[in-house]
């Protein structure tokens, strides 16, 4: 056991060729979906979709499917994503078949139901720096190593705009150091840019709130071992920053998720009082594994 492995990516072209030559789990050619959860990301989603379409898709492309899951945006996210060439799925359509949920983890879970690729690459929709090589780099370890299940983007997070990964540095990494030593080499555990093997993540429950990334890391480390988790350098990452008030709720959900999973979460509260005095209900709900849901839907005569 070596623990989390760190990779340096090959060229996009070399990774594209390796992907085209690789078989999927059923023996058919391996397929890759990029899925982007979006809640009001009109400022950035058009460019992101345009870049992915132009650089990574088309005949014999690295990416076979590009899905934007619109989480009840009130801006032009859905229209701009569609015009740029993404398949846009509205979260309400997934809810109609599978029940209502909320939160970023709920959208990732829905994206598995809305996409088909053997490998799924998740990207945040608010990125203001993005290179197609990130997608290729995230996919490469999964193509090359059958025993790897999840690959996180390891990025530099500049703090000159007041960000720099505040929840990551003040909550996630300290908790990992205290409770999850096998994962401490992960530079960006909360990164929204990561690739997963569908056969693995469909067997896992999904935390629907901000705890989804830590839950997936812990559950994969527990079921497949920490060696099944890898990271790849992607360079500098910039994004839209949330207010400290919003991040405090995110931090509480990340903490509750980790403490619950490592067995230190006795008496975890389900609400959080922010510094402005507002009492917020934490989103600690979980969705069942997608594989169970799909089996249930097939038995009931529905298509997932
Ligand atoms: O209810 C939600 C919340 C977020 N998003 C989308 O999810 C992505 C990530 O949200 P963002 O506000 O950019 O998250 P950050 O505050 O930057 O949080 C970081 O840390 C989180 C874990 O705490 C991860 O889930 C994020 O991916 C990671 O970027 C964006 O495209 C959002 O539009 C939704 O679709 N629905
Ligand atoms: O990843 C994180 O820790 C949160 O997204 C906060 O990031 P920021 O401090 O760069 O806004």
Please compute, for residue 162, the number of CA atoms within 13 A of its CA located in the half-sphere on the CB side.
6
| Predicted-complex ipTM score | 0.99
Q: Which ligand is nearest the CA of 187, by number?
A: 2
Q: Is 164 in the pocket of ligand 2 (CB under 6 A)?
A: yes
64 lines ligand 1 (CB under 6 A): no
Closest Cα partner for 3 from 213, 151, 172, 184?
Answer: 184
Q: What is the residue-averaged pLDDT of the chain? A: 96
Query: Domains of the chain: which residue ranges?
Result: 5-303
| pTM for this model (two decimals) | 0.97
CB of 45 shorter than 6 A to ligand 1: no
286 C-beta closer than 6 A to ligand 1? no
Atom from ligand 1 closest to the CA of residue 168: 20
Q: Is 193 in the pocket of ligand 1 (CB under 6 A)?
A: no
**d(C-alpha 273, C-alpha 249), whole Å:** 9
Distance 18 CA to ligand 1 centre (A): 31
Query: pLDDT (tens digit, 9 = 90+) per residue, 97-130?
Result: 999 999 999 999 999 999 999 999 999 999 999 9
Tell whether domain 5-303 is in CATH 3.40.50.2300: no
Ligand nearest to the CA of 163: 2
C-alpha 85, offset from chain centre: 21
- With tokens 């530099």, the residue in question is 156
Going by alpha carbons, the residue nearest to atom 5 of ligand 2 is 165
pLDDT, tens digit, for every residue of 39-93? 999 999 999 999 999 999 999 999 999 999 999 999 999 999 999 999 999 999 9
| Ligand 2: centre distance to CA 242 (Å) | 7
């Amino acid at each position: 056991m070596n623990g989390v492995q760190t990779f340096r990516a090959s060229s996009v072209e070399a990774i594209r060729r390796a992907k085209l030559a690789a078989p999927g789990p059923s023996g058919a050619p391996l397929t890759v979906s990029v899925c982007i959860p979006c809640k009001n990301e009109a400022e950035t989603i058009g460019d992101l979709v345009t870049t992915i379409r132009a650089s990574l898709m088309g005949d014999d492309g690295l990416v076979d499917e590009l899905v934007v899951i619109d989480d009840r945006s009130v801006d032009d996210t859905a229209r701009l994503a569609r015009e740029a060439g993404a398949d846009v799925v509205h979260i309400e359509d997934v809810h109609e078949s599978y029940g209502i949920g909320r939160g970023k983890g709920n959208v990732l879970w829905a994206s598995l139901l809305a996409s088909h690729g053997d490998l799924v690459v998740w990207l945040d929709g608010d990125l203001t720096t993005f290179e197609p090589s990130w997608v290729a780099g995230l996919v490469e370890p999964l193509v090359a190593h059958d025993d790897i299940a999840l690959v996180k983007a390891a990025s530099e997070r500049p703090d000159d705009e007041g960000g720099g990964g505040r929840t990551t540095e003040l909550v996630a990494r300290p908790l990992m150091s205290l409770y999850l030593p096998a994962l401490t080499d992960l530079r960006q555990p909360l990164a929204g840019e990561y690739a997963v093997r569908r056969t693995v993540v469909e067997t896992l429950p999904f935390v629907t709130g901000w705890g989804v990334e830590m839950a997936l890391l812990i559950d994969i480390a527990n079921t497949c071992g920490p060696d099944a988790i890898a990271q790849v350098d992607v360079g500098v990452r910039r994004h839209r920053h949330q207010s400290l008030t919003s991040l405090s709720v995110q931090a509480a959900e990340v903490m509750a998720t980790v403490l619950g999973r490592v067995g230190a979460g006795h008496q975890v509260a389900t609400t959080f009082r922010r510094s402005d005095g507002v009492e917020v209900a934490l989103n600690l709900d979980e969705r069942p594994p997608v594989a169970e849901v799909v089996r249930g839907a097939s038995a009931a005569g529905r298509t997932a």
